[in-house]
Chains A and B, each alone.
Chain A
Amino acid sequence: MARRGGNRKGVKGNKGGAKRRNNFYLDFSQFEEFAEELDGLGADLQAIFTDIMEQTAETVDEDTAEAMDSNNLPAKGNYSSGRTKGAIIKNPKVRWSGTRGGVGYGFDKTTPNAGSWLITGTPRMQPNYALEDIYVRKKYKSRMVKDIMEFFMAEVEDRVGGK
């Protein structure tokens, strides 16, 4: 069926940049047995996961800010107003729904176009290499998962150590 103007989502024109958010989630229900054991040792799994997720999101945000350094921007940042850099999430907070926690990271996608055009590029502008490293290539994500696991083990050891 033909549509007059606007795109499929009913948004007029196209300034691009979906309202999708970069979120990551952890669900510790799969750790039930482990959780019971840790509960017995006085460990609060939700608090541990909150720390892990917020610190991981903060690391991504710092790396994103670094990738927004002028040297990585089109025309060495001469045309940058700083608005996109200002859209990087600050002090990310985990929201819990039962045993499932989620935290936003990177660009705040409620700001239209924030950062996404730098990651995907446009027909007239190549993507930003440093941001692609974080949001597209696999190496960064693999390192993030490894860091989360190491952080988790360290947190558990800290909180239940010696008991």
Chain B
Amino acid sequence: MVDNLIELLESFNYPVIRQGSLAPDEAYPDTFFTFWNSDESEHSAYDNDTANVDWIFQVNVYSTDPDRAYSLLDEASTLLKSAGYVIATRGYDVVSDEITHIGRGMVVMFLQNEN
């Protein structure tokens, strides 16, 4: 599932990294995605086996261009929804370590059928 998310985000041709994985002395790319898998839990079970799994991700865009941060998050939201992800928010500000970058984020969910 994580691979699928990364693959979809990479189709925008910007770096995709795990939240918190950038080294303290590493420069921010001009525009990039971060993701974080907040939860992977059993949604339902059948015959004592997991039938469906709930995935929750945080997906963020950081950019030196505020307009791009907003539009890219919107585009990512559209793409992910078309791939079956559920997104209930339009987005919210996320904190950037760098004053040069703006951050926008959203919570992305997916209900995966295990069968």
* Chain A residues in the interface with B (C-beta under 8 A): 2-3, 6-8, 13-18, 20, 113, 116-117, 120-127, 132, 136-139
Contacts and interface: CB of A to CB of B under 8 A. Distances in A.
A144 B98 CA distance: 36
B39 A124 contact: no
Contacts of B54: 138
Contact of A123 (B56, B70, B92, B97): B97
A22 to B, nearest CB: 12
Interface residues of B, number: 36
B103 A124 contact: no
Interface of B: 17, 19-24, 26, 28, 32, 34, 36, 38-39, 41, 54, 56, 58, 60, 62, 66-67, 69-70, 92-97, 99, 101-103, 105, 107
B19 A139 contact: no
A34 B7 CA distance: 52
Contacts of A15: 95-96, 99
Contacts of A18: 92-93
Contact of A120 (B39, B41, B58): B58
B107 to A, nearest CB: 7
Contacts of A3: 66-67
A14 B21 CA distance: 21
Contact of A124 (B20, B92, B93, B107): B20
Given A123-B34, A127-B20, A136-B38, 15 more contacts: A8-B67, A14-B96, A14-B102, A16-B95, A18-B93, A120-B19, A121-B19, A122-B95, A124-B22, A124-B23, A125-B19, A126-B20, A132-B38, A136-B107, A137-B39
